[in-house]
């Protein structure tokens, strides 16, 4: 016997998951949206890079954000 759809919906709400997740279906990654169209396009293009190239890009981005964080901390102390 299969549960009613209303029961499935309630269970999904209780567990804060989609119905697909509740029944074990794979979940597609949500698309990341940027208001800056160029940044949005660049991120889409990054998905076409090889694993090694993505790791290199990730390192560059991490270093840039670390630089911004350190700069912000330094400016807040002056």
**pLDDT for position 32:** 67
User: Domain segments of the chain: what residues?
Assistant: 50-78
**What string of DSSP letters covers 33-59?**
--SSHHHHHHHHHHTTS-HHHHHHHHH
pLDDT digits (tens, 9 = 90+) for 17-71: 888 888 888 777 766 677 888 888 888 899 899 999 999 999 999 999 999 999 9
List of long-range contacts for 21-26, beta carbons under 8 Å, 24+ apart = none
Q: What is the pLDDT of residue 26?
A: 79
Of 78 and 21, the one with more pLDDT: 21
What pLDDT does residue 49 have?
92
């Amino acid at each position: 016997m299969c549960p009613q759809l209303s029961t499935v919906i309630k269970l999904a709400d209780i567990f804060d998951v989609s119905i697909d997740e509740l029944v074990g279906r794979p979940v597609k990654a949500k698309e990341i949206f940027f208001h800056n169209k160029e940044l949005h396009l660049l991120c889409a293009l990054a998905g076409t890079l090889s694993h090694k190239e993505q790791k290199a890009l990730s390192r560059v981005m991490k270093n840039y954000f670390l630089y911004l964080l350190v700069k912000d901390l330094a400016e807040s102390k002056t």
